[in-house]
Amino acid sequence: MTVIVRDLRPDDRADVEAFAHARHLALPYILWTPEGILHNLNHTHPDARYRSLVAEEDGETIGTAQVRLAYDSPEPGQGDLNIYVRPDRTHRGAGRLLVRAAEEHLAACGATKLFAWVLDEPDNRAFAERHGYRASRSAHFLRLDLANGGLPPLQDLPPGVELRRAADFADDPRPMFELDAETTSDEPSDIDAELTDYDTWIEETWQHPLLDLDLTSVAVVDGRPAAFTAAYTDRATRYATAMTGTARAHRGRGLAKLAKNDSLHRARAAGYKEAFTGNDTDNEPMLAINRWFGYEICATEVRHVRELG
């Protein structure tokens, strides 16, 4: 009954599947597939010093951690550790060991400010506080029943606006990179992100195995992408929004709704049964959009921060 912590073994398919399963049990509002987990491990920029950790008890994966430096933030010295123990395997010491291993790694890489998402339940919050973390911003997970719920009807296109798919930009995704970079920098968050390197974006984001280029919808104005919604799918029944954004010059004209509605209608037609998304609790425009679609809040998580002395 000894719990040990070690790195995920990327060449061991069963190990990666066990990681995905443990994550799914702890956090079912996010799509966890072996391919997505391996992609993050193998293709996150080397400066992130990314690691996936496993807590194992008697050969069983009971907890997981993803740990990285926020290398793409303009503020140096920030790192994040996201730790989830299987809900049916808590109170065995896995969380404590994962926190210790993750903090040691981040501190050795020079991080002084550590961020962790914590599901908003009393035990989890008490655990974070005992480890020296204080609560910061919060975010909701939201779910839409695509199979049984109704979607708003498809809207008419405003004059000068066309709808395309990300796949239409496969030959030259740079305009999509520019839109993603502009809108990501405006997303409310504890850690400011700046997407500056196109090649890194191609490798980390555009080539992510969960990204569905056909179901990712883009509203185009004067030939340039003005708004988009990025669709992740498990290629079976579950759909999740990775990002929705509208260029600053085009906000408040209904373009985010237009792009996301197009994507959700096509996802439903393709057989997807449920859709997930996540929003900062202060992101009023995005929460308003998601309420309009019928999404319902299914869980809340709270960012916790620890400053290393």
Ligand X SMILES: CC(C)(COP(=O)(O)OP(=O)(O)OC[C@H]1O[C@@H](n2cnc3c(N)ncnc32)[C@H](O)[C@@H]1OP(=O)(O)O)[C@@H](O)C(=O)NCCC(=O)NCCS
- List the one residue from 7, 75, 186, 194 that touches ligand X (CB under 6 A): 186
Cα–chain-centroid distance for residue 256? 19
Say how many residues touch ligand X, by CB under 6 A.
Answer: 21
Cα separation, 258 vs 228, whole angstroms:
9
* DSSP element (H, E) containing 65: strand 60-69
Cα 212 to Cα 182, 208, 232, 239, 285, distances in angstroms:
21, 9, 6, 9, 24
Residue (180 or 204) nearer to ligand X, CB: 180
137 contacts ligand X (rule: CB under 6 A): no
Q: Closest distance between ligand X and the C-beta of residue 247, in Å?
A: 8
Sheet holding 78-85, edge to edge: 3-7, 51-57, 60-69, 78-85, 113-119, 296-307, 134-145, 274-280, 238-246, 224-233, 217-221, 161-165
Can you tell me the distance from the alpha carbon of 223 to that of 187, in angstroms, rounded to the nearest whole number? Answer: 24
Q: How far is the CB of 24 from ligand X (least distance, A)?
A: 22
Is residue 39 within a helix (H) or strand (E), and if so which, with residue range?
helix 34-43
Tell me if 102 sits within 8 A of 131, measured CB to CB.
Answer: no
Query: Which is nearer to ligand X, 221 or 270 (by Cβ)?
Result: 221
Residue 238 beta carbon to ligand X: minimum distance, rounded to whole angstroms: 18
By the rule CB under 6 A, 302 interacts with ligand X: no
Compose the 279-298 pattern: x for residues touching ligand X by CB under 6 A, - for all others: x---xxxx-xx---------
- Looking at residues 212 to 271 of the shown chain, list those that interact with ligand X (rule: CB under 6 A): 227, 244-246, 251-257
Q: Could you tell me which stretch among 38-46, 83-91, 183-191, 301-309 binds ligand X (CB under 6 A)?
A: 183-191
Query: With respect to ligand X, which residue has the nearer C-beta, 89 or 250?
Result: 250
CB atoms within 10 A of CB 4: 10
Name the residue nearer to ligand X (CB basis): 1 or 249. 249
Quick check: 106 and 66 in contact, CB under 8 A?
no
Amino acid at 197: D
Q: From the list 17, 120, 187, 203, which residue makes contact with ligand X (rule: CB under 6 A)?
A: 187
Nearer to ligand X, 284 or 307 (CB): 284
Q: Which is nearer to ligand X, 92 or 251 (CB)?
A: 251
CA 240 to chain centre: 9
Q: Is 85 in the site for ligand X (CB under 6 A)?
A: no
The CB-of-288 to ligand X minimum distance in angstroms stands at 4
Give contact residues for ligand X (rule: CB under 6 A). Answer: 183, 186-187, 227, 244-246, 251-257, 279, 283-286, 288-289
